[in-house]
Amino acid sequence: MRKMVRIKGVQPLSGYRVRLTFTNDSVRDVDLGRYLHGPIFESIRIDPVYFRTIHVDPVAGTVVWDNGADIDPDVLFKDLTPAWAEKKSAAA
């Protein structure tokens, strides 16, 4: 059985960009701007200092902030469309 790839490291870059290190040792620079949607991400979107508090939850293997916001590691690894955007497209 294939082991799921999770995030083991995150480094904030400029803007909403971060450098992610995955458990398969791949490294990818990702712009998280398109994922920062909804009320839980509001303080993260408007405060660059707060955005930079991003860290890895070692149990879930994903990026998180202290307010409980997180982004699915599968979405980040596979460059998937965020769930909120898929729902919006389906409704249109």
CB 21 within 8 A of CB 9: yes
Place of tokens 């409704």: 91
The fourth-level CATH superfamily of domain 7-91 is: NE0471-like N-terminal domain (3.30.2020.10)
What is the DSSP-derived secondary structure letter of residue 35?
Answer: G
- Within a 10 A sphere around the Cβ of 73, how many other Cβ atoms? 22
What is the residue-level pLDDT of the chain in tens, covering all 92 positions?
678 999 999 999 999 999 999 999 999 999 999 999 999 999 999 999 999 999 999 999 999 999 999 999 999 999 988 776 665 555 55
Prediction pTM value: 0.87
Helices (H), ranges, the chain: 42-46, 48-51, 73-78, 83-91
